[in-house]
Amino acid sequence: MSTTRVVVTMAVLALGGFASFVVASPTPIEQPAAAVRGAAQLAPPLRYRTTTQVVAAGDNAGPLLRSMGAPAAELLAGAGTALNNIFPGDQVHLDWRDQDERPFRLRLAHDTATTTELVWTGTKYTARKVPVPYRVAEQAAAITVTSSLWSAATAVGFSAGQIIELAKIFEYDVDFNTELVAGARFRLVLDRLTADDGSERIGDIRAAILDNGKKQYVAIRHRTHDGTAGWYGKDGASRRKSFLRSPIEFSRVSSGFSTGRYHPILHRMRAHRGVDLAAASGTPIRAVADGVVTKAGWAGGHGNHIELRHDNGTVTGYSHLSSIGVKRGAHVSQGQTIGKVGSTGQSTGPHLHYEYLVNGVHKDPMKAIVPVQKPLAESERADFLVARDRVLPLLETATELAVAADASENSTAER
């Protein structure tokens, strides 16, 4: 696909060069097509080249651009936030005129319906989003999770960003680190996008059902009149709740919550008044709810530590961070990255020690957090019901997407 785009770009640029050549000639005459082609070959050759790098796990834009020989600082200055979120599999294309020291254009091809472009204007780079032309068709599809959501969704062509989006739909219901059972099944109505060259990929998710063990969750996407898209239950209840199930999107509990208990051998109290979430150093930590930062700094054995105060006497704590991204007194919103996983303080390896307190008493966050729902406004109901009654029957027809890669991984995981 990218090769095709490069060829098209070069053809247009070459034609542009030729057109000015014709206009400059003293006696412009109507030329037959064959003669035009001949003249084009006589025009001085314009040379362009494109270099491409596929984003790997852990890549950041700055080092990646430097490795491609590009002026990273200039590109990042013009990018705003456009290069903040690059995902494995994204492609960075740099378009160069042969003699220039900097690319005249950067194209970041995400697995989305737009390409991000940074174009050199002569003094700086400016960012813009360019739609990728696609035909859109709706598809009902199912994914069965045998080992992890990540492997199951990757196997059927979901990008990292789309898996996170899928997890976000149900993040108030299920902690994907601990609560997704083997055999959990997602049924989705999604957009299937087909490009001019026939390549296909997955677009937006419109509706989803998750069957997780004995529990079923239904989520329907609805865009309210003010333009905000959100997820709603069958009855129009919002699925956005006051607390996220976990401050980390994908990890596992390496040590659970326990109340104070006297240890007979060590002769001391061995309470673990939080849960430990294992995750790689540098993994973003999200505020589980809107709140105010009441602590942000070094806290002895807790290392780099953040504490947030939320509504109704609730507090959350985040310890052993490699970096703190918020200041004391700041307001944070749910889902906002507040710091990164580390191993500072009394810690044997990278993990997040996560605490949840109600009126000063530590509780097990995995059990005690009971979400609250906000309903859809009355003025939105009619539109919502039309959309719901269209997609629910489609969800019933969902057929399994191929899960070849996941099945092979699972055969070893189950032993």
> Nearest approach, Cβ of 171 to Zn ion (angstroms)?
22
Closer Cβ to Zn ion, 102 or 273, answer by number: 273
> Nearest approach, Cβ of 125 to Zn ion (angstroms)?
44
Closer Cβ to Zn ion, 201 or 353, answer by number: 353
With the C-alpha atoms ordered 248, 402, 197, 103, is the resulting torsion angle positive or negative? positive
- Select from 240, 254, 344, 247 the least CA-distant residue to 300: 344
> Nearest approach, Cβ of 331 to Zn ion (angstroms)?
27
> Nearest approach, Cβ of 152 to Zn ion (angstroms)?
29
> Nearest approach, Cβ of 4 to Zn ion (angstroms)?
52
Closer Cβ to Zn ion, 26 or 300, answer by number: 300
H/E stretch holding 405 reads helix 404-413
> Nearest approach, Cβ of 177 to Zn ion (angstroms)?
15
Q: Which stretch binds Zn ion (CB under 5 A): 45-53, 136-144, 159-167, 276-284?
A: 276-284
Q: Which stretch binds Zn ion (CB under 5 A): 88-96, 274-282, 361-369, 381-389?
A: 274-282
Half-sphere exposure of 164 (CA within 13 A, CB side): 12
What is the distance between the alpha carbons of residues 39 and 311, in angstroms, rounded to a whole number? 74
Closer Cβ to Zn ion, 361 or 402, answer by number: 361
- Select from 86, 91, 111 the least CA-distant residue to 50: 91
Closer Cβ to Zn ion, 65 or 308, answer by number: 308
What is the distance between the alpha carbons of residues 93 and 68, in angstroms, rounded to a whole number? 10
Closer Cβ to Zn ion, 310 or 320, answer by number: 320
**Residue 90 touching Zn ion (CB under 5 A):** no
Place of tokens 């009619």: 382
* Other C-beta atoms lying within 10 Å of the C-beta of residue 392: 15
Closer Cβ to Zn ion, 91 or 347, answer by number: 347
Positions 329 through 358 that interact with Zn ion (CB under 5 A): 353
Place of tokens 């004995």: 214
Positions 206 through 265 that interact with Zn ion (CB under 5 A): none
What is the distance between the alpha carbons of residues 19 and 312, in angstroms, rounded to a whole number? 70
Long-range contacts of 209-214, Cβ-Cβ distance < 8 Å, separation of 24 or more: 209/395, 210/169, 210/170, 210/173, 210/174, 210/184, 210/185, 210/186, 211/184, 211/185, 211/187, 212/174, 212/179, 212/180, 212/181, 212/184, 213/181, 213/183, 213/184
> Nearest approach, Cβ of 355 to Zn ion (angstroms)?
8
Point out the residue whose Cβ comes nearest to Zn ion. 353
> Nearest approach, Cβ of 327 to Zn ion (angstroms)?
24
> Nearest approach, Cβ of 273 to Zn ion (angstroms)?
8
The encoded tokens of residue 374 equal 């906000």
> Nearest approach, Cβ of 97 to Zn ion (angstroms)?
55
Radius of gyration, CA atoms only, the chain: 26
Residue 325: what residue type? G
> Nearest approach, Cβ of 328 to Zn ion (angstroms)?
22
Closer Cβ to Zn ion, 276 or 406, answer by number: 276
DSSP β-bridge partners for residue 308 = 293, 316
Q: Indicate which single residue of 171, 276, 355, 380 sits in contact with Zn ion (rule: CB under 5 A).
A: 276
| 72-94 as b/e: b if 16+ CB within 10 A | bebbbebbeebbeebbebbbbbb
Closer Cβ to Zn ion, 77 or 269, answer by number: 269
Closer Cβ to Zn ion, 168 or 295, answer by number: 295
H/E stretch holding 167 reads helix 160-169
Report how many residues bind Zn ion under the rule CB under 5 A.
2
Positions 38 through 77 that interact with Zn ion (CB under 5 A): none
What is the distance between the alpha carbons of residues 86 and 109, in angstroms, rounded to a whole number? 10
Q: Are 313 and 268 in contact (CB under 8 A)?
A: no
Closer Cβ to Zn ion, 160 or 352, answer by number: 352
With the C-alpha atoms ordered 9, 11, 14, 20, is the resulting torsion angle positive or negative? negative
Interacting residues toward Zn ion by CB under 5 A: 276, 353
